[in-house]
A and B are shown apart, each in its own frame.
Chain A
Amino acid sequence: MFVVGTFYFFAIFLIFSSLSVIFSKNPVNSVLFLILAFLNSTFLFILIGAEFVGIILAIVYIGAVAILFLFVVMMLDIELIDIVFSVKRYIPLAVLFSIVIISEIVYLTVVKTVKGNLVLEPSSVNNTESIGDVLYTKFFIDFQLSGIVLLLAMIGAIVLTHIYKPSIKRQNISHQNSVTRLERVSLRNPKNGEGIDA
């Protein structure tokens, strides 16, 4: 009973916050509601016993992605754009879309559904341990590939946003090392009472 109530609470909250993401005018509000949606789905994951994915969702999405969004939104100084939506233009697309989705829902919830209710049984191996067991053995290649994807994303983001300005002075180490004494200092012998013309 507690599980069912908690599920409905978080599910309704999740739907509400994701509706607010797409309907709020101010992008900052949208990002904050997105964070709320991620937080709710974290609670849902923890509720059904997938603690590792839930916590990773909180760390990665809330801690990195949503904060990145927030930085960009605050940096870009975006004017508020009114929602432009004409219902008539999208009616054929909407009908097609809803037919496909409703038939999929009916097929998957009635015909090919996964039977059985949620049983939360204490097990000897916890969730994180069992994920670690297969992640580094069965899915080793995929794990490495996802690392490469992240590296690629990092390099791509740096290359895209990097600005090259010729006016900025940079350290050129080989140039520094190839300088000789004669280029920098010279020996003068000033007379008494006179300076040195530059």
Chain B
Amino acid sequence: MLSISYNHFFILSVILFIIGCFGLFLNRRNMILILMCIEIILLAANINFVSASIFLKNLDGQIFSIFILTIAAAEAAIGLAILVVYFRNKGGIDITKINELKD
């Protein structure tokens, strides 16, 4: 009898987490892709929380997943606002050009 255990979901969320982290290193120039990779990482955390909550029969994980969702929405709004301001000032979103404090 095939069935799903918690390990399935755990490994799925680890794979998603690694994909998100890998994307952070891979796209080191495009700022909007970095924000999207952070969203993927938060999604991995959400999957882990919700599946653990289901398998442990404890609702706290789902509640925390809702809070993570709130924080992710706030983070996306602020991040995209910073992105828009940065684009307006610089004419591009290449993050390798954010080194003006060095000079």
Using CB atoms and an 8 Å cutoff, list the residues of chain A in contact with chain B: 1, 3-4, 7, 11, 14-15, 18-19, 21-23, 27, 30-31, 34, 37-38, 41, 44-45, 48-50, 52-53, 56-57, 60-61, 64-65, 68-69, 72-73, 75-76, 78-79, 81, 83-85, 90, 93, 97, 101, 104-105, 108-109, 113-118, 127, 130-131, 134-135, 139, 142, 146, 149-150, 152-154, 156-157, 160-161
Asked if A134 and B59 make an inter-chain contact with CB atoms under 8 angstroms apart, the answer reads yes
Asked if B93 and A101 make an inter-chain contact with CB atoms under 8 angstroms apart, the answer reads no
Count of CB-CB pairs between chains A and B under 8 Å = 205
Query: Given the complex, which residues of A lie within 8 Å of B17, measured CB to CB?
Result: 101
Q: Which 9 A-B pairs have the closest CB atoms?
A: A22-B23, A153-B74, A117-B3, A157-B81, A114-B6, A160-B81, A146-B70, A118-B4, A4-B2
Q: Complex formed: what's the CA distance from A3 to B54 in Å?
A: 15
**Main secondary structure on A side of the interface with B:** helix
Query: Given the complex, which residues of B lie within 8 Å of A105, measured CB to CB?
Result: 10-11, 14
Asked if A83 and B83 make an inter-chain contact with CB atoms under 8 angstroms apart, the answer reads no
Asked if A65 and B14 make an inter-chain contact with CB atoms under 8 angstroms apart, the answer reads no
Asked if B27 and A156 make an inter-chain contact with CB atoms under 8 angstroms apart, the answer reads no
Asked if B74 and A18 make an inter-chain contact with CB atoms under 8 angstroms apart, the answer reads no
